[in-house]
Structures are given as structure tokens and as C-alpha cells.
Structure 1
Amino acid sequence: MSFAIVAMTAADAARCAELEEILFAGDGPWSADAFRSELAHAHNHYFVARDEAGTIVGYAGIALLGGESDPESEVHTIGVDPVQQRRGLGSRLLDELLRVAGTHGGPVFLEVRTDNESAIALYRREGFEILGTRRNYYQPSGADAYTMRREQRASDATGDMTVPSKEQPA
């Protein structure tokens, strides 16, 4: 199975909110309105992954921040339908975010739950390092988050948006 990663539209917001409910039920999942609000800001770039049937099976978003002299980016979210996890899709969504960040320049930041070992492993493989811990970051669960940073790489501004399935961790 292959996946196509394309720009998110307002029409995709409801399905992304459904996935949020599944993935982040205890941590204030985003509503469809929250996704639509994010799409309204020019500095935000959101993507969805569609399977061969056109069903949204993942999503990701990043904000390009700072000015020309001090650019930086912040990963807002990455989510993959549990049925499609461990096939490399999360990695490919992150690759797309890093490609967009690479066109902007500067470091990339993100927060991740301290107990989300698979996501932390993915981010470490991509060169992110833990800067610190934000206590009680996720609400209402009160879970802690690591703040992570990755310096820009020359290879970040390239990428292929057709995603073949992989039988490896995402």
C-alpha cells in the first residue's frame, strides 16, 4: 500500500479531529474547528496522508516562525491512524514537515510526551535532542513533555511526497 501526502484542506478537518479523539483522548484532542483555525494562518503548513482509497490515515502540521535573521519552526502535531502505525508513515510525515522547515531555515522545535517512546525514538533518529522537560504540559492528563530541538540540515528542503508503505517502526 502507498500513501500520498498532500496539503490539508478545511474539508479534511473533521477526519483529522476523529483521529485526534482516538490518538489523544486524554490530552484535549483538537476539534475540527481547531484544525480549520490552524489552516487560516499563513505561517502554518498542514498535511494529510491518504491511503489508496483516499481515506485520511495521518496528518501533520508545522509553523514557520521568526524573521529572516532568526528563522525557526515548530512542529505542532503528527498523528497516524493506529491501524496504519509502524509502517513508516509517521516518519514520512515528519520528513515532509522537515522539508518545509528546510525552505524556511533555522532550527525545528517540538514537544512530545515523555512516555511516548516510539515518537521520541523517531525524533532522535531524525536528529532531535532533548532540551528540557515541561511539567504538566498536556492537559487534562497532566503528562509531562520533552522539548526537543533539531538544527537545520541541507537535505531538509528536498523530499518525495509519494510514500510507499514500510514494515518498520514509524
Structure 2
Amino acid sequence: MAFRLRRATVADLDAIMAIESSTFANDAWSSESMRGELASTHTVYLVASDQDAPDALAGYAGLLAPRRSGNADIQTIAVAPSARRRGLGRMLMLALIDESRGRGATHVFLEVRADNPNAHALYDSLGFEQIAVRAKYYQPDGVDAQIMRLAL
């Protein structure tokens, strides 16, 4: 399966939210929050589709990276179940890391649920290191958030 990435727009909101709510059942972002992220000048959101089915989203990822701030923060990433284990998560992450560099960031940060070993494996393989823990950050589950950083 070959994927194509493009910049997300507010027109993608419903498709993004379908993946968001199915992936993050207990702590999904609200449509209003996601709409604000998509419209912000300080964020870049990407959506992915299979080249053979360009109208169906296979995943998305978002980055907060105000230009010349020196830092970037990966806000969210999710891949539809039908597209998992095919390299799309890595593709999205690499695109956001490249965008971070282009915006002058020297570090990229992210938070990940402590109970998500697949995400940890991906982030570790990309060179992220754990720097802190936010205890019981993800609610209502009470799961810790591990804060990770990548030096660019």
C-alpha cells in the first residue's frame, strides 16, 4: 500500500474525528479543539490516504511549531486500523520532524501513553528519549504520559 500525505484542512475534520474517536476512545479530542488546531497558523496537520483510495483517510498527525521558537511539539498522530503496521506512522512522524527542522526547531517533543508499546517502539527507533513523566495525565483512565524529546 502506497500512501500520499497532504496538508489537512478544516474540510478533513469529520474524517479526522472518525479516526480520532475510534483510536482514542476514552480521551479523544473534541471536534472544536481539532478545528482550532487545523486553523492555527502555528500548527501543521497532515493527512494520509492510500493512493488507490484518495478520498478515504488512513491517518493524520499534527505538529505545533511556531516559527523561530526553537521547539516543536507533536500534538497527535493516529492511523486507521486498516492501515496499521504498514509504515504510515513512521512516514507521518518523519514528515513532522522535517517540518520541525524547516521551522527552525532544535527539539521535538511529544507525550505518549505509558501503556502504548507500539508507539514507544516507533519513537525510540526515531531517536526520541524519555525525559519526564506526567502521572495519571490521560483521563479518565489515569494512565501516565511519558514526555519524550528528539534533538534535531
TM range (shorter): over 0.9
Partner SS state of residue 112, structure 1: strand
Tell me the TM-score normalised to structure 2 length. 0.93
Q: What aligned pairs does 1:113-132 form with structure 2 within 5 A after superposition?
A: 113-132=113-132
CA RMSD across the alignment = 1.2
Q: Which residue of 1 aligns with 2:80?
A: 81
Q: Which residue of 1 aligns with 2:145?
A: 145
How many aligned residue pairs are there? 149
| Misfit runs of 4+, over 4 Å | none
Residue identity over aligned pairs, in percent, reads 41
Q: Which residue of 1 aligns with 2:63?
A: 62
Higher strand share: 2
Task: Please tell me whether the aligned partners of residues 13 and 33 of structure 1 are also in contact (alpha carbons under 8 angstroms).
Answer: no
Q: Deviations over 1:125-158 (max 9, x none)?
A: 1110000111111122211110000001xxxxxx
**Which protein has greater RCO, CA pairs closer than 8 Å, 6+ apart?**
1
Partner SS state of residue 40, structure 2: coil
Partner SS state of residue 6, structure 1: strand
The alpha-carbon deviation at position 31 of structure 1 amounts to 3.0
**Structure 2: gaps of 5 or more residues:** none
Q: Distance in 2 between matches of 1:38 and 1:142?
A: 25
**Structure 1: gaps of 5 or more residues:** 153-170
Q: Which residue of 2 aligns with 1:134?
A: 134
Partner SS state of residue 143, structure 2: coil
Q: Distance in 2 between matches of 1:17 and 1:141?
A: 20
Partner SS state of residue 26, structure 1: coil
Partner SS state of residue 137, structure 1: strand
